[in-house]
Structure 1
């Protein structure tokens, strides 16, 4: 009996100790960004500190298909309707649809689109680099439109956060998350002090990499290092993508088609020598977003 009581006391002390330590570390596991959440690294080290430009919600309005001047088909980069405010501020009415809803720009796309009431003159096809080869090949192979309406397509969007306190935490998460975040911080501190440190691959598809002149480009505390998605490739975009652009261009009768290929974050900061954007610009007049972003970095634009 005495041993049983002692065992119970020890277990209780261990549980309370775990809880107290987890509660202590929990505020570090308050995440604002997707990459910090995936990597379990705190905003106090990798959260941006420079305030972002404020947006007025009135410019983020979703136009109906039959009133739109511009149709945007895109992925997560377009879903927030943020960059589209550059168009709405100029008086253009913009409707944004997702690739998930459209399922592709099929052979009968233009007749189908006109039947939906779209009378505009401009179509923007946006795709993030990691998805663009797949998006293009899927569209080329598609013969008949099968639109699948998404419940969030016409839902109101709100302006993104202008600023936040990177040191402010809360206690609403899991204790284990606080522990793991603290352990990752200790591991990072040890690794990053090595003279030859360049990259660290974390779980959940995140890579931390040292960036040349990083403190000229980022506002987070550990600005020499930045977080990237591990599955973003350093190599060129598949060569089939350029051929597929030509095929899809031929389907777009009666409209001005604008291709918007968004470079991966790792391409912008680590692998800027890729040639796909130069080729797409030369052959098809696609805006060279990689060059634009490189110019912004040359001008020391922070938190691009």
Structure 2
């Protein structure tokens, strides 16, 4: 065989392989959940099949800070305005900002809120469990709030609930090998009999797939005996009884306003490692600084299918509304 013909054969074979991989990627459903997207895992196997509740548009409206009676400082669990809708529906005026906007909650937090125009009574600080120890440490090391108050003025959709449809339904924006990797990763999950960790080229070990003995009673996705979780749920420093005094100090710094804490348990804590925060929970409950969403979620996961989204680390809309009702009950007690 002549060298030119051999070169053309190799080139042609390579082209066909690349073309087949590209077609496979285009035909792979777009992953909208954060763990299916980052882990390159099948959205078809892990998307929820339960119908989502509708939240009235009027309950997703935020108020200017000088008109609000509640300030929410939260993370990605608050940007959807979903759990806050329970407060708004009950007649409260809420304004939400993000930890990224505020920076650490320093010793002059209450003065800062007053300078920002807040004239209400209550501050709700929301944080996911895995990030709270780091946030508490940063708060303990600062004395002055340096940034201006910046409200989130419009809710930000999460996962695929409001995702725009792609042209022809094809996965145009993915890497050309994503379809093949999605196939390999999903097949490995189906065959796995123990935890399976997926390495991300940028962030390293990030997603872990776990067997869920009761998964098909708790989730509605097709591969319901498997669950997707963040590795950082286990790797980050846990909340402990020593975390509570730090939370109390931040609450005192919010004076003259009252502060409630909304600590959202990791998805891993709820479904795989329910004892992960036991050292924290007893002290937190005794302090009376907010609802015990850990115990609530431990029970609700059997009553609310897809309390957390199967393809995501966040709550489902059903979960947000359930947590919002718990927060509303706590707010009403605080008003008494």
Mark yes or no: TM-score above 0.5.
yes
Distance 2:274 2:136 in 1: 22
Deviations for 1:209-241, whole angstroms, at most 9, x for unmatched residues?
A: 011211000111110110000111288414431
Deviations for 1:256-300, whole angstroms, at most 9, x for unmatched residues?
A: 21111110000000111232233211123421001111121243x
2:185 paired with 1:178: no
| SS of the residue 1:175 aligns to | coil
Corresponding residue to 2:197 among 197, 201, 214: 201
TM (normalized to structure 2)?
Answer: 0.80
Distance 1:157 1:270 in 2: 28
Going from structure 1 to structure 2, the CA distance change for 1:81 and 1:52 (only over 3 Å counts) comes to same
Over the aligned positions, Cα root-mean-square deviation in angstroms equals 2.4
Determine the structure 2 residue equivalent to 1:230. Answer: 231
Corresponding residue to 2:246 among 244, 247, 271: 244
Gaps of 5+ in 2: 201-205, 308-336
Distance 2:144 2:158 in 1: 36
Distance 2:228 2:154 in 1: 30
Distance 2:3 2:159 in 1: 58
CA contact (8 A) 1:60 1:158 kept: no
| SS of the residue 1:245 aligns to | helix
1:1-304 equivalences under 5 Å are: 2-28=2-28, 30-148=30-148, 153-155=152-154, 157=156, 162=161, 170-172=170-172, 173-191=174-192, 197-204=193-200, 205-233=206-234, 236-273=238-275, 274-275=277-278, 276-299=280-303, 301-304=304-307
Going from structure 1 to structure 2, the CA distance change for 1:56 and 1:24 (only over 3 Å counts) comes to same
Deviations for 1:234-257, whole angstroms, at most 9, x for unmatched residues?
A: 884144311201212222323221
TM (normalized to structure 1)?
Answer: 0.88
Distance 1:6 1:148 in 2: 66
| SS of the residue 2:28 aligns to | helix
CA-CA distance at 1:46 after TM superposition: 1.1
Please, which moves more after superposition, 120-129 or 238-247? 238-247
Distance 2:226 2:253 in 1: 44
Gaps of 5+ in 1: 192-196
CA-CA distance at 1:183 after TM superposition: 1.6
| SS of the residue 1:127 aligns to | strand
Going from structure 1 to structure 2, the CA distance change for 1:162 and 1:179 (only over 3 Å counts) comes to closer
CA-CA distance at 1:186 after TM superposition: 2.7
| SS of the residue 1:185 aligns to | helix
Distance 2:42 2:191 in 1: 16
Deviations for 1:84-111, whole angstroms, at most 9, x for unmatched residues?
A: 1011111111100111111122111212
Distance 1:187 1:231 in 2: 21
Going from structure 1 to structure 2, the CA distance change for 1:211 and 1:163 (only over 3 Å counts) comes to farther
Distance 1:184 1:161 in 2: 21
CA contact (8 A) 1:71 1:95 kept: yes
CA contact (8 A) 1:263 1:290 kept: yes
The alignment covers a number of residue pairs equal to: 294
Distance 2:190 2:273 in 1: 25
| SS of the residue 1:209 aligns to | strand
